Structure 1
């Protein structure tokens, strides 16, 4: 009788063990998508591809020009919560009325507390553009940067730009070329880990880490003298790539978006320093912010073409000292 009972119990246990084993096997066979893929899909679905960080779905570009005249200033500043990320000393010497001086590391906290769209302000517009891109990727899609920074607001605060265009680094340099662009490569995706399987959560953490790390830049001098140390992307139109000339060996990956996989033209290797350069260093700052969040070891070339070759005859816009000069807008102390 005892043996019969044990036999019957065994018959009941065998299916239970089988089903439990199957359940565990199914769980083991479930493979989550890579963190990069989850974040990429989230960015595309939520209109935060790289081109949509540059210009949001409402048509607002990442940068906005200062008002034309002093009379236009009150209406201009009324639209924004103005966050000035310059040093305390520079802020005290002269700033836009109503601006708040903050540390770069506090931009996300201040963005969350803002009651109006944020206007980021720095010395030249470059760090502010980097901050703007990170703010937009974090969900503050109407954030903008002041074009040219405080250098464009008033002649007394224009020193950072005025001091960077006197030396023509690229003119006559052996590493400056007018040839065609090399054929773009096709690389695999960047790779990083996350404890989350939610694309939005992964993105926010990546942005927070980028804010903590700060703006990553390289000088035109270093890239021009050592181009093989970098994976260089010239963010110009095809006509300007040859018309302006370019750093020898620079690729031209434009468009540069997730949706069309053109981002795969960039090298995600941990030892590949991806440097982007544009005309002013402002667009490249935005691109660099996006790339760092995506997992690239990315850098922005400071002052762009203006720093490399400001007198280049191909300039028709965004040339500091020509079509772009400091205005005479009011400062407060």
Structure 2
């Protein structure tokens, strides 16, 4: 009888213990802040929202033009120059004092610059701008890209631009002069991290984006099937309608995490940014990929789509843009 009594008491106690354990478990449950939120919060405090990646807090734009010949000595003395073109093209012609560095090694190379600002050089300025944005987000805030790349340095190295301007948008059924569609509001992109440090998450994200290489898309592909992409045009509002644009393109400007305007981009789509030269869109694309978007830069921008468009001249490529500055040994 005594055994039966003990068994009955035990049966009554087990549910009580179970429920008490559950209650304690609920009390101890911790809701972890998403990795993307931790990173974005850090980016805001570190002045790494897109406007500050585009133009640093010191007022330095992400690109700088090749100097006049009289200013060349001061220009060369100012920068630690890294040339991210192929070794063979570097060997053929490069800026005096420039060091040939693979794109994959740009983050490690930044430390070698010391107190000097870094100048990144490529063929057209586009990959260099992508690298510049990533280096700025990694902590090398004084990094800049050479505008137009080696194409703007000397006419003998201008083929990368000369051979890629075009007018495929002229008369194309997917070129439009309509107003931009109304902006939508989407959810944030997401990714996982074991770290709870926004700074550490950002550095890891930048490293991953560098390792993946520059993500681009051809203007001809986007123009042929614009509905395959979420397209954001980075023209001014006047140029959006004056120049025309790819059909269905949005115009989300400003683009920022501080005001949540970045939520106008679809995190589940291929987000294509295009501008006049492909250089600004490279910066935007690098920033968006770090944030978690499947982002792409439309190569050569308006110059590759509709270079002969009569509505513009600023940031328009022509053979006259190239200087004839000397090369190093």
TM-score normalised according to structure 2 size: 0.92
Match of 1:317 in 2: 314
Tell me the alpha carbon deviations over residues 269-291 of structure 1, each in whole angstroms, 9 at most, x when there is no partner. Answer: 1xx11000000000000000000
C-alpha distance in 2 between matches for 1:178 and 1:89: 44
Question: Residues 212 and 23 from structure 1, CA distance in 2 versus in 1: closer, same or farther, beyond 3 angstroms?
Answer: same
C-alpha distance in 2 between matches for 1:329 and 1:24: 70
C-alpha distance in 1 between matches for 2:125 and 2:305: 17
Question: What secondary structure sits across from 2:321 in the alignment?
Answer: coil
CA RMSD after TM alignment: 1.7
Question: What secondary structure sits across from 1:276 in the alignment?
Answer: strand
C-alpha distance in 1 between matches for 2:286 and 2:28: 37
- Please report how far the alpha carbon of residue 251 of structure 1 lies from its aligned counterpart in structure 2 after TM superposition: 0.3
Match of 1:5 in 2: none
Tell me the alpha carbon deviations over residues 24-47 of structure 1, each in whole angstroms, 9 at most, x when there is no partner. Answer: 54431x212111111111111111
Match of 1:66 in 2: 66
Answering whether residue 281 of structure 2 is matched by residue 284 of structure 1, we say yes
C-alpha distance in 1 between matches for 2:73 and 2:55: 25
Tell me the alpha carbon deviations over residues 208-256 of structure 1, each in whole angstroms, 9 at most, x when there is no partner. Answer: 0000000000000000011011100001111110011000000000100
Match of 1:42 in 2: 42
Match of 1:328 in 2: 324
C-alpha distance in 2 between matches for 1:82 and 1:142: 12
C-alpha distance in 2 between matches for 1:250 and 1:25: 47
Question: What secondary structure sits across from 1:188 in the alignment?
Answer: coil
Answering whether residue 295 of structure 2 is matched by residue 295 of structure 1, we say no
Answering whether residue 139 of structure 2 is matched by residue 139 of structure 1, we say yes
Match of 2:12 in 1: none
C-alpha distance in 1 between matches for 2:211 and 2:247: 33
- Please report how far the alpha carbon of residue 19 of structure 1 lies from its aligned counterpart in structure 2 after TM superposition: 11
Pairing of 1:254-265 with structure 2 (within 5 A): 254-265=253-264
Match of 1:122 in 2: 122
Match of 1:79 in 2: 78
Tell me the alpha carbon deviations over residues 78-110 of structure 1, each in whole angstroms, 9 at most, x when there is no partner. Answer: 111100000011101110000000100000000
- Please report how far the alpha carbon of residue 112 of structure 1 lies from its aligned counterpart in structure 2 after TM superposition: 1.8
Answering whether residue 249 of structure 2 is matched by residue 246 of structure 1, we say no
Answering whether residue 150 of structure 2 is matched by residue 154 of structure 1, we say no
- Please report how far the alpha carbon of residue 20 of structure 1 lies from its aligned counterpart in structure 2 after TM superposition: 9.6
Match of 1:15 in 2: none
TM-score normalised according to structure 1 size: 0.90
Question: Residues 21 and 247 from structure 1, CA distance in 2 versus in 1: closer, same or farther, beyond 3 angstroms?
Answer: closer
Question: What secondary structure sits across from 1:289 in the alignment?
Answer: helix
Aligned length: 311
C-alpha distance in 1 between matches for 2:111 and 2:25: 43
Q: Provide structure 2 residue ranges, at least 5 long, that are not aligned to the other structure.
A: 1-18
